[in-house]
Amino acid sequence: MSDSPQPYRVLARKYRPRSFHELIGQDAMVQTLGNAIRRGRLAHAFLMTGVRGVGKTSTARLIAKALNCIGPDGQGGPTIDPCGVCEPCKAIAEGRHIDVIEMDAASHTGVDDVREIIEAVRYSAVSARYKVYIIDEVHMLSKNAFNALLKTLEEPPAHVKFLFATTEVNKVPVTVLSRCQRFDLRRIPAELLASHFTHVVEAEDVAAEPDALALIAQAAEGSARDGLSILDQAIAHAEMGEGAPLVTAAQVREMLGLSDRGSVRRLLGLLLEGQTAPLLAAVRDQYALGVEPLSLMRGLLELVHAVTLVKAGRDIATPGQSAEEREAIADWASQLGFAPLHRLWQLLLKGHDEVANAILPIESCEMALLRVMHAATMPDPGEIARMLREGAPAAASAPAAPSESPSGPSASLPASFEDLIEAFWQRGKGQLAQELHDCVGLVRYAPPELDYRAAPSLASDFAARLTPALREVTGVAWRVAQADGPAAPTLLEQEQRKAAEERARILETPVVKAAMEAFPEADLDDRLEQWSA
């Protein structure tokens, strides 16, 4: 009877790093760790942090092997290049070494679980050089569990090493962080992931288009495990070629619900040209092909970002980028200014968030793109300010209106000084609003111009802070000047004068006047003034 076939192992497990040489994208950490091992400067606790799938737990197991490897001849010491053939290396790789204990903190969060560790560390390793505790997702431990671990973590026995892994290092107490040697594992670059996937498909005897692997690497967002899981799915989804599956870029896009770059470029072109009907038709065509509306918005955001970087002088060429795409991006970068590009980004970003939370995603996508299209033709705040100063019409198609007197406030700006202060309060600029109220005597208010007299208590940098804040609150550039001419009292002075007049009026009423004569030591309560007002 023939042996039963080996069960299939998913790629993420099959290609888990077995040595530090196979750990991709973490060269700085490997070099630091290698130097520490060679110089005998080993910490008693290590903390690996980073996003999912970058190799935190794999690194912890590799460190355990590096510390306990005895070499093929049984005489070796700690090494950054564990042999992989000695009994400790094989037992640790297979997860059966009695002195390497792994614990998932997500399911062992309590203080009792930590007490078991504290009790066990007192005993020497059974067969290894070091007793190693690997605690995954350590941030899930309770506060009491962390507190119970602190003393042991600070002064553990010489034969014990702690290896922690977490995706949320901000949830780990500072008292624990200060007792560990921390390694921040970085997101793996897409180019490095694509190269790694090339070796994987070759080892799996699978054919794959380079663009397909590039798409998978981008979708992985820096995670080797996520990328291998997507690759596993793509291989299962692929059609059989001549004896081997063939993973194509078109199949990966269909599987992930992605739009191809050419379609995204056509959409952006229609958007910038203001072609409403063709734009809506193109969106619906992509939706019919299975492209998710959110993916469509993300593709447009990535393209606008690329154009902006090229505009700023950065080279963004990648191996998988076509000549047509480079040419289109360069063309847009030469034609569009930074202001329209920033406006496009903000509008698309707002649309992306709306689509992500929408009950009707495709309809929300269409409405968001229509808003982008029409807002793109609007003048920016600087242009609006110029139009206001020169009395120009708001739009080229509108008939020319007679220019208003520069002293008349614009209908689009706060009509009064009090309205301006209220606008500052509403935009969260309370300090400036208070200074305008208490310390500014108005000489002339003719938006977008403001002349004022400053009270002695007003800070010297007031004008420097006020001018940009006015532009932020109203969207228009203002001319602000300090004048020496006649000025109205500050609003605070006006309120105080009004309160004094009201107080005098109340004191002159017959009832209050008689009461004050009867009780000479009495005084008028402010609450009575407020009630009367």
pLDDT of 408 above 60: no
- pLDDT of res. 382: 56
Helix (H) or strand (E) holding 254: helix 249-256
Q: Is the pLDDT of residue 329 over 60?
A: yes
Whether 57 has a pLDDT exceeding 80, the answer reads: yes
Which of 183, 244, 235, 191 has the alpha carbon at shortest distance from 59?
183
Judge whether 307 and 333 are in contact, CB under 8 Å.
Answer: yes
CA dist 28 and 98 (Å) reads 31
In 3-state terms, what secondary structure has residue 508?
coil
Task: Let me know: does 91 contact 97? Beta carbons within 8 Å.
Answer: yes
At 405, which amino acid appears?
A: S
| Strands of 160-166's sheet in order across | 100-104, 131-136, 160-166, 45-49, 181-184
pLDDT band for 523, please (50, 70, 90 cuts): low
Q: Are 129 and 74 in contact (CB under 8 A)?
A: no
What is the predicted pLDDT for the residue at 366?
A: 92
Q: What is the pLDDT of residue 348?
A: 92
pLDDT digits (tens, 9 = 90+) for 246-287: 888 878 877 776 666 778 888 998 888 888 888 899 899 888
* Contact indicator for 157, 121 with CB cutoff of 8 Å: yes
pLDDT at 369: 92
Q: In this model, does residue 236 exceed pLDDT 60?
A: yes
Is the link from the previous residue into 157 a cis peptide, with omega within 30 of 0? no
498-519 pLDDT, tens per residue?
888 887 787 777 776 776 776 6
* CB contact at 8 A, 3 and 170: no
pLDDT interval class at 525 (50, 70, 90): low
Q: How far apart are CA 43 and CA 207, in angstroms?
A: 45
Q: Give the model's confidence band at 526: pLDDT under 50 very low, under 70 low, under 90 confident, else very high.
A: low
Query: Is the pLDDT higher at 377 or at 159?
Result: 159
| Per-residue confidence (pLDDT) for residue 330, from 0 to 100 | 87
End-to-end distance of the chain based on CA atoms, in angstroms? Answer: 103
Return the H-helix or E-strand segment holding 343. Answer: helix 338-356
> 115: pLDDT confidence band, cut at 50, 70 and 90?
confident
Q: What is the pLDDT of residue 352?
A: 92
Rounded to an integer, the average pLDDT of 337-360 is: 89
Asked if 295 and 255 count as a contact pair (C-beta separation under 8 A), the reply is: no
Torsions phi, psi for 221 (to 5 deg)? 55, 45
Q: Which two tokens stand for residue 241?
A: 């070629």
* Token pair in block for residue 192: 């490095």
Mean pLDDT of the chain: 81
Q: Tell me the three state secondary structure of residue 247.
A: strand
Farthest CA pair distance, the chain = 121
Q: What percent of the chain has pLDDT over 70?
A: 85
Q: What are phi and psi of 440, to 5 degrees?
A: -115, 120
Q: What's the pLDDT tens digit per position in 459-486? A: 777 877 888 888 888 888 888 888 776 8
With tokens 């208010």, the residue in question is 445
**Which of the two residues, 443 and 392, has the higher pLDDT score?**
443
**Which residues are CB-contacts of 234 (< 8 A; sequence separation ≥ 6)?**
208, 212, 216, 247, 251, 252, 255
Min mean pLDDT across 80-84, 157-161, 231-235, 312-316 is at 312-316
Least confident of 207-211, 227-231, 378-382: 378-382
Considering only residues 307 and 290, tell me which one the structure prediction assigns the higher pLDDT: 307
The residue type found at 203 is A
Q: pLDDT grade, residue 377 (50/70/90)?
A: low
Digit-coded pLDDT (tens) for 330-348 = 888 888 888 888 888 989 9
Q: How far apart are CA 280 and CA 275, in angstroms?
A: 9
Which of 14-23, 250-259, 378-387 is predicted least confidently?
378-387
Residue 235 in tokens:
């291989």
Give the containing element (helix H, strand E) for 133: strand 131-136
What per-residue confidence (pLDDT) applies to 276?
86
**pLDDT value, residue 203:** 87
pLDDT for res 300: 92
Beta-strand pair 449-454/440-446: antiparallel
pLDDT at 529: 45
Angle at 270 between CA 380 and CA 383, to 5 degrees: 10
Cβ contacts of residue 274 below 8 Å, gap of 6+?
373, 376, 377
pLDDT at site 404: 36
Give 166's strand partners: 49
In sequence order, which residues have a C-beta less than 8 Å from that of residue 361 and are 6 or more positions away?
292, 293, 294, 355
Cα angle 163-169-175, degrees, rounded to a multiple of 5: 75
Cross-strand pairs, 134: 102, 163
Per the document, the length of the chain is 533
Which residues make beta-bridge pairs with 133? Answer: 101, 162
Residue 160: its H or E element: strand 160-166
Which CA distances in Å does 175 have to 112, 117, 161, 163, 184? 20, 19, 18, 16, 18
The three-class DSSP label of residue 239 is strand
Cα–Cα distance measured from residue 373 to residue 248, given in angstroms and rounded to the nearest whole number: 34
Residue 452, strand partner residues: 442, 482
